[in-house]
Amino acid sequence: MGRNLQNKVVLHIGIDDIDSPLGGCTTHLASILVESLDGRFSFKDYPNLIRLNPNIPWKTRGNGAVALRVLVEEDSVSQVVERVLDTVGGYVEEFMHPKRNPCVAFYTSNNVSRSLRWFGVKAIRDVITLDLVKKVVGRNGVKFECYEPGLRGLVGAVAAIGVPLDDCDYTYELLAYRCRENWGKTRLVEDESVFKMDEETRPHTFLNVDWEEKRVLITPRGVDPVLYGIRGEDPGILIKAMKMVKIGEPIERWTIFRSNQGTDMHLQRVPAISSIRVYQSVIVRGKVVSKPMWIKGGHVVFRIGDETGTIDVAAYEPTGLQHIASKLIPGDVIEASGGVRPASSKHDMTINLERLHIIKLAELVEKRNPKCPKCGKTMKSMGRNKGYRCPKCGFRTCKASKIIIVKKRDLETGTYYPRLRAYRHLMKPPTRIGREKRKPPTRIYTPFHGT
């Protein structure tokens, strides 16, 4: 960053779909590539970890792709490409799996084109067809290599290239990796040290622990090489946090990534319910039109509507939002944020609630029978439009009417967030509000990777 680009060109390297049930990881491979290239060539940016649409059924675990942006002499581009292909080919060969389409893409330009940027954002918010990625690749001269039949990995590789994080919010993540002999074994990370680290570094780091459940959130599960990942606002705080975490096994390597995690980049505000499409992540305003209903599993479902249509909203038990959703009543005006699940034989198209913003509360009205004017006893209806009769003294009247009582709501307007353990990668935690960034960093922290 800030280097003279004269006689040099930026080679953008995108990789995706490296994760496999047999092992391996896209960010782990990216870290190996960083070590291979750093010192020989200059990096224009940190490795970019771009989380893509979290609602896509065929996504990998975190649905993350990586872009490396390397400054090279024009006549060295082919040398770097060859080096990358050798490394990627050897890595993916070991973890080949029929459900994965590993891919690496190359784009040479000092500026990312508008069409690639559009494609990158679309891959975060919508569904990408293979025909579309082919068109974008051809139009921009993107070269690529896929290691299994199919082009799904190409979508993420090209999308990562198309999101340079130079005009949007971003965060950082330090990922530490395990030595090969420990893959699949219990991760030896001391919980107490993680809680202490969180106390001393938050809000400059986030989503380290769930204090409500006393649960550590930085360690993944499964056979992948990641030991832990610490998310934060700047590289310096991540280095400090890494030094505070106590572990019982060696670290093979670590790398700091710049990412769209924790930014809400996946959410798009839609103007009307009728414009919502499946697999999108949306923010939509509507009025509650049905009484919330508890369903099996401790979840709550309700329906919202506007002048264009209606849609179901589901608050699932892990989020904790079901308790708030259950207190809604018809007439409440809300804004629902979340991923759109397609309809099935058991349910209509549904927004899986990530965040609930209550804009306006309707009056909660209770109607009661009138009191007897003679003895004060509550009267009983004698039938529709037939008046009331006092069960104590027998007084009858056709002039009395229901008493309207406005009850106090056990609910307030405002924004309600899920439990920390229910956060997905792209969701912005409340501690990040007001910390959004609008300009890319002016220099790369040294070191941003190590062994």
Cβ-proximal residues to 48 (8 Å cutoff; 6+ apart), any chain: 66, 67, 68, 69, 160, 163, 164, 165, 257, 258, 259
Scan for tokens 């809000």, then name that residue. Answer: 203
Residue 380: its pLDDT value, please?
A: 94
pLDDT of residue 6: 61
Provide the whole-model pTM.
0.91
CB 358 within 8 A of CB 412: yes
Q: CA gyration radius for the chain?
A: 28
Long-range CB contacts (within 8 A, 24+) of 128-136: 128/155, 128/159, 130/155, 133/158
| Residue 113 in tokens | 């084109």
Q: Measured at the alpha carbon of residue 430, what is the angle toward residues 196 and 269, in degrees to the nearest 5?
A: 150
Quick one: pLDDT at residue 93? 83
Question: Which residues are CB-neighbours of 345 under 8 A, at least 6 positions away?
Answer: none
Which letter does DSSP use for residue 2 in this model? -
pLDDT of residue 3: 46
Report how far apart, in Å, the C-alpha atoms of 312 and of each of 277, 307, 415, 427 are: 13, 15, 19, 21
Of all helices (H) and strands (E), which one includes residue 241? Answer: helix 235-244
Predicted local distance difference test score (pLDDT) of residue 349:
96
Counting every residue written for the chain, the total comes to 451
Q: What is the pLDDT of residue 1?
A: 46
DSSP state letters, 140-201: HT-EEEESSSSSHHHHHHHHHHT--SSSS--EEEEEEEE-GGGTTSPP-B-HHHHHHHHHHH
Q: For each of the chain's 451 residues, which pLDDT tens digit applies? A: 444 456 789 999 999 988 876 778 999 999 999 999 998 899 999 999 999 999 988 776 678 999 999 999 998 999 999 999 999 999 988 777 767 789 999 999 999 999 999 999 999 999 999 999 999 999 999 999 998 777 888 999 999 999 999 999 999 999 999 999 999 899 999 999 999 999 999 999 999 999 988 999 999 988 889 999 999 999 999 999 999 999 999 999 999 999 999 999 999 999 999 999 999 999 999 999 999 999 999 999 999 999 999 999 999 999 999 999 999 999 999 999 999 999 988 889 999 999 999 999 999 988 899 999 988 899 999 988 899 999 998 999 988 889 888 889 999 999 999 999 899 999 999 999 999 998 999 999 999 999 8
127: left (phi over 0), alpha (psi -120 to 50) or beta: beta
